[in-house]
Structure 1
């Protein structure tokens, strides 16, 4: 059982973020850190769930699929309370950015006001599998650059939360974001995930200002090689698989 803050308290931690500043960071870099969303105790309890396979619908060995090296598991329903509560609390804030980006790129914005309505549309389209991820990296593990797209229904932003303390529990293992700039070389960004803090980042692409207005800049993400220790992270995706 996961103990700690209630859904209301998780909502307050999310609502207390400086969302205009987060949006500005997303515009500048394609990713942005949030304040602390999970307590150290919650981080430890979520990490401990990794060794309870009954809580997950499937396990992926990254080396087997040539995704890198390491392992991750997709949660089964019902989700642990902190995962469910944070996903629900984050959606309205990310929705504002998603709609703004769609307007800049001249794209439709199919995302309703509530997460439940959006997930219902995903399910109608055949995307019915839980997409929330718990990842584990040992020394020497890494994650290849990729995108978490599981079908036609895609939400343009997602969040990863660090569950261990960088420099104490592990070294290396920085989050990588690489974007393809219009008519230019690709740009890379690295971020250390503080324990319990989230990193909001773009799922597929984002608006990049160019001489001709706004262009869609393709983005992929991954994880650099873990130099020592063990690294866990929680991935919150806002479309189902």
Structure 2
């Protein structure tokens, strides 16, 4: 069983070097916490606040660069676990026995997500859901209070980082459970955004496929280049 001592540290961000989604699911089944997808951007942009959230929870490698850095540190069997796949594996494993709360996306996106989940996982117990546009501190507190009242076992939050991580951190204070940040995964799940073909995924090149399809993401590529430079300079020893 994976332990905290097995974690790999990159720029102060501690990441579990899981070797398969099965290993991660078994790990999560034994403990509560926030599953945080760690990629090159999260590592290079890390602050004391984001490190605190990740290092006190369950950071896993969601980026190919992070996996390469782990391999260079001698952890050759570490693999990339895409959050867009992982959350559905969690649902498949747990929907017959656990309760869920789901947050994120525009209203039509979350409505379609809930509809598809109920169709795909017959009998899934969703205690509550809402869109990801929380506009006031009062709205935020109402949501936190609802989580505290309903006490779901598993909560998915698709709002982008680090906003989703900070919100889940506050959820944990009132309801210890399993949480996972999902970014734009609901857009993928409902067919609004197409993922890279399998070849690109298995070769850790999904980021490049997205960039080629959406060049406006170029600002985010700066952090991957910075991460690569850090690796080449030996920052991750």
Q: TM-score range with shorter-chain normalisation?
A: under 0.3
More strand by share: 1
Structure 1 length-normalised TM: 0.27
More helix by share: 2
Greater relative contact order, per chain length (Cα 8 Å cut-off, separation 6+): 1
